């Protein structure tokens, strides 16, 4: 094996390695993403929020008068001291207290964990459904395509919030509680995740279908079919990986819209029930205290805004970075 | 063109059928509508039974769907519960123009929608006009000065606007312009309803009550749509025919207004055309916050009571409007853009 002509350590030309070795599409995408100013702002914002909802839980501690003891963690976030209800932000409760005297600061931390978990899981369900429906419709064509696309169009015909509300009523309270990472999640969390996922996959399915319709005519698909690859292998190993760009962008932006959807459904009183806090259900009924207790809606609402903003920045950066024809940021 | 429209309408029929079946099936799980009908004293079991027969809820789900779709005036029903069908059915079904009666108020669904629809339309159409005008203006202005200070500020703001949850914006606007303006002794805006009962139903009152909900709806949509206009104007400006026009010596203003804007507006027409049917649906969250008596409120209120004829009516009205406006949008698009031919 011969020595490379120029290595980065011996070369006098800076970045000679990069000059001699062609960059992979992933390298190029990563480079475009790093140069995207909005995307880096978004990443810092999301990093800050991540620290807030994780390490912030260490600050969730205090004396719970009804139980007559000091509590930490989620127990403190759920401790309701009705003698302290609707307190304005102060030294002990920096974000104030809610209608039954729970500390809003602690609840935004634990609610944030649930909201973000709902957002990520719902986006996962969305991508799973969208990719599957789109890929199956495009790959098999014919009547499979017709039926799947008619259902997709039927669901697009109804305003998404109406679909969400119908879904929330349909599944309402039907699932048992679940233990997740040592936390008790009410069944309604799972229900909300499934509903948001099941009512948001339609656009992605159409994008994936359009992409795969052109991909399936390529020679490498004919080749793998000739080699005896199964339909599942062709779809999952060849077709879907080649539509990864819209999948990644949709998954990212899907987290943001799922967090907003959760907030809307909860705001209308159809969301996550019980003591479990989410940014959404902290807002339920808060508008009745518009004048007297604005901190009820301001803090959870602002955290939702910042999270969605951060995700949208990153999603926009990813969209530009993953577009191989984009030259703007190279 | 006529065959195209007829074919599209023909395709719409099975689509609407699928929608109605899916929705009807979902609504079977909404719980018992009769359970929530009781006034202060819960009704006796035999009264509930009678009520269920009267509303046709004793029938199996598929028969309820058939009745909803084509009516039941061709069959006799058992109303007094003695097992003998004696009363002829009254319903005509949605296919013959009978949208059914609300289970809660017993009034015709279409009549109740008719009361709410004007309230929603006045709010939504006003908002939509403002959205169209401002999106075009802001989008065009940024596209003509890409990466300028104005463009960068607008880009940043539109990201914030686009990411704002509706209720957060609505509550913030209310808190500033209604609560705090009153506190500071400034002229303040009303927060809820359409009219102030003390003043009466005057147009001035209506406009005052519309400012905040319209602003809420408009700000969020303008943020997204102005981006859309900006990118399509930028794309058109890089086309050869724009360069040709400039090379010919056409004045810059004329290039923009005569060549760039009409071409850039084409995809925007599609966007707006597909938006129009959803104006009928109103805005659930905005109407709830501002206590606006529109379609979104009607939908939410009757979802809580499992009033499925009402919900089916609202959703089918929207679905029909969506189908019709999709066809209209495609036809209009082919008329304004000669490159598109419908066959």
Any idea what the Cα angle at residue A98 is, between residues A94 and A100, rounded to 5°? Answer: 130
Chain A residues with CB within 8 Å of chain B CB? 38, 150-151, 153-154, 157-159, 161-162, 165-167, 169-171, 256, 260, 263-264, 267-268, 283, 286-287, 290-291, 294, 297-298, 301-302, 304-305, 308-309, 312-313, 316
Cβ partners under 8 Å of residue B178, min gap 6 = B188, B189, B190, B191, B212
Cβ partners under 8 Å of residue B220, min gap 6 = B161, B162, B164, B166, B169
Domain spans in chain B, listed from the N-terminal domain onward: 38-102, 109-336
**Among the listed ranges A221-225, B8-12, B200-204, which one has the minimum average pLDDT value?**
B200-204
Return the half-sphere exposure (C-beta side, CA atoms, 13 A cut-off) of residue A123: 20
The tokens for B249 are: 């010596």
Give which of B127, B158, B104 is closest to B307, Cα–Cα.
B104
Residue of B23, B167, B311 lying closest to A283 (CB–CB): B167
Domain spans in chain A, listed from the N-terminal domain onward: 111-321
Position B169 scores a pLDDT of 92
Residue of B165, B278, B299 lying closest to A304 (CB–CB): B165
**pLDDT tens-digit readout, B91-144:** 888 888 888 888 888 889 999 999 999 999 999 999 999 999 999 999 999 999
**Among the listed ranges A176-190, B4-18, B324-338, which one has the minimum average pLDDT value?**
A176-190
Q: Provide the β-strand partners of residue A72.
A: A61
Contact in structure between A103 and A265 (CB atoms under 8 Å):
no
CATH superfamily, domain at A111-321: MetI-like (1.10.3720.10)
Nearest chain B alpha carbon to A150: B15
Which residues from chain B sit within 8 angstroms of residue A170, using beta carbons?
26-27, 29-30
Place of tokens 């259902």: A151
Backbone angles phi, psi at B88, to 5 degrees: -70, 145
Contact in structure between B261 and B140 (CB atoms under 8 Å):
yes
Position A3 scores a pLDDT of 44
For chain B, give the percent of residues with pLDDT over 70. Answer: 96
- Residue B34 CA to residue B43 CA, distance in Å, equals 9
A208 against B44, higher pLDDT: A208
**pLDDT tens-digit readout, A231-289:** 999 999 999 988 888 899 889 999 999 999 999 888 888 877 767 788 888 888 787 88
Position A7 scores a pLDDT of 45
Q: Is 50 exceeded by the pLDDT of residue A1?
A: no
A162–B168: do the CB atoms touch at under 8 Å?
Answer: no
- The CA–CA distances, whole Å, from B161 to A310, B156, B313 equal 13, 9, 33
The C-alpha of A278 sits at a distance from chain B's nearest C-alpha, in angstroms, of 15
Which residues from chain A sit within 8 angstroms of residue B281, using beta carbons?
159, 162
Instruction: Find out if CATH 1.10.3720.10 is the number for domain B109-336.
Output: yes
**pLDDT tens-digit readout, A137-146:** 999 988 999 8
Position A27 scores a pLDDT of 83
Average pLDDT of every residue of chain B: 86
Q: Is A226 exposed, middle or buried (0-12, 13-18, 19+ CB in 10 A)?
A: exposed
Chain B residues with CB within 8 Å of chain A CB? 14-15, 18-19, 22-23, 26-27, 29-31, 159-160, 162-168, 171-172, 174-175, 179, 191, 278, 281, 284-285, 288-289, 299-300, 303, 306, 311, 315, 318-319, 322-323
For the question of an ipTM over 0.85, the answer is no
- The CA–CA distances, whole Å, from B324 to A74, A160, B11, B278, B320 equal 51, 19, 11, 12, 6
Residue of B14, B289, B300 lying closest to A287 (CB–CB): B289
Position B247 scores a pLDDT of 92
pTM for the complete prediction? 0.85
A159–B14: do the CB atoms touch at under 8 Å?
Answer: no
The tokens for B27 are: 């609504």
């Amino acid at each position: 094996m011969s020595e490379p002509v120029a290595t980065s350590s011996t070369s006098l030309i800076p970045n000679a390695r990069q000059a001699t070795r062609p960059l992979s599409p992933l390298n190029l995408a990563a480079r475009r993403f790093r140069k995207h100013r909005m995307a880096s702002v978004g990443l810092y914002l999301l990093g800050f929020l991540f620290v807030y909802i994780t390490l912030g839980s260490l600050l969730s501690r205090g004396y719970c008068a009804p139980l007559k003891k000091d509590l930490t963690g989620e127990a403190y976030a759920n401790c309701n001291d009705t003698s302290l209800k609707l307190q304005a932000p102060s030294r002990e409760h920096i974000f104030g207290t809610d209608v039954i005297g729970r500390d809003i600061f602690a609840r935004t931390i634990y609610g944030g964990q649930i909201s973000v978990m709902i957002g990520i899981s719902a986006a996962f369900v969305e991508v799973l459904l969208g990719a599957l429906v789109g890929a199956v419709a495009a790959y098999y064509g014919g009547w499979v395509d017709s039926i799947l696309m008619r259902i997709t169009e039927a669901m697009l015909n109804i305003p998404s919030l109406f679909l969400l509300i119908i879904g929330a009523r349909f599944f309402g309270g039907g699932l048992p509680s679940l233990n997740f990472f040592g936390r008790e999640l009410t069944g309604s969390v799972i229900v909300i995740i499934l509903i948001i996922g099941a009512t948001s996959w339609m656009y992605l399915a159409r994008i994936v279908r359009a992409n795969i319709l052109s991909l399936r005519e390529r020679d490498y698909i004919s080749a793998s079919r000739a080699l005896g690859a199964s339909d599942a292998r062709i779809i999952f190993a060849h077709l879907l990986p080649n539509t990864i760009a819209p999948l990644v962008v949709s998954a990212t932006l899907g987290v943001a819209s799922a967090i907003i959807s959760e907030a809307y459904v909860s705001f209308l009183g159809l969301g996550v029930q019980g003591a479990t806090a989410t940014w959404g259900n902290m807002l339920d009924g808060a508008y009745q205290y518009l004048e007297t207790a604005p901190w009820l809606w301001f803090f959870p609402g602002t955290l939702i805004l910042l999270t969605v903003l951060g995700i949208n920045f990153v999603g926009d950066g990813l969209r530009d970075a993953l577009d191989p024809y984009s030259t703007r940021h190279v | 063109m006529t065959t195209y429209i007829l074919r599209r309408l023909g395709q719409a029929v099975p689509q609407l059928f699928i929608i109605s079946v899916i929705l009807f099936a979902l609504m079977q799980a909404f719980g018992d509508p009769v359970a929530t009908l009781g006034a202060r004293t819960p009704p006796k079991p035999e009264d509930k039974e009678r009520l269920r027969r009267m509303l046709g809820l004793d029938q199996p789900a598929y028969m309820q769907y058939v009745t909803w779709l084509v009516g039941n005036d061709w069959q006799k029903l058992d109303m007094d519960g003695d097992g003998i069908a004696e009363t002829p059915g009254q319903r005509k079904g949605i296919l013959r123009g009978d949208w059914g009666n609300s289970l809660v108020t017993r009034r015709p669904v279409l009549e109740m929608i008719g009361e709410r629809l004007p309230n929603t339309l006045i709010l939504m159409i006003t908002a939509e006009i403002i959205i169209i005008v401002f999106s075009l203006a802001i989008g065009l202005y940024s596209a003509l000065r890409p990466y300028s200070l104005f463009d960068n500020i607008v880009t940043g703001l539109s990201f914030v606007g686009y990411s704002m949850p509706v209720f957060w914006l609505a509550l913030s606007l209310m808190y500033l312009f209604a609560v705090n303006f009153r506190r500071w002794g400034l002229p303040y805006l009303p927060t809820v309803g359409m009219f102030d009962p003390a003043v009466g139903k005057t147009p001035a009152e209506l406009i005052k009550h519309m400012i905040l909900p319209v602003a809420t709806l408009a700000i969020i949509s303008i943020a997204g749509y102005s981006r859309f206009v900006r990118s399509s104007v930028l794309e058109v400006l890089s086309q050869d025919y724009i360069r040709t026009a400039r090379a010919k010596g056409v004045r810059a203003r004329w290039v923009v207004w005569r060549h760039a804007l009409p071409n850039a507006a084409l995809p925007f027409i599609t966007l707006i055309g597909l938006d129009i049917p959803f104006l009928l649906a109103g805005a659930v969250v905005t109407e709830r916050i501002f206590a606006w008596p529109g379609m979104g409120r009607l939908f939410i209120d009757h979802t809580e009571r499992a009033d499925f004829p009402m919900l089916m009516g609202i959703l089918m009205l929207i679905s029909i409007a969506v189908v019709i406006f999709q066809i209209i949008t495609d036809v209009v698009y082919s008329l304004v853009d000669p490159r598109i031919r419908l066959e």
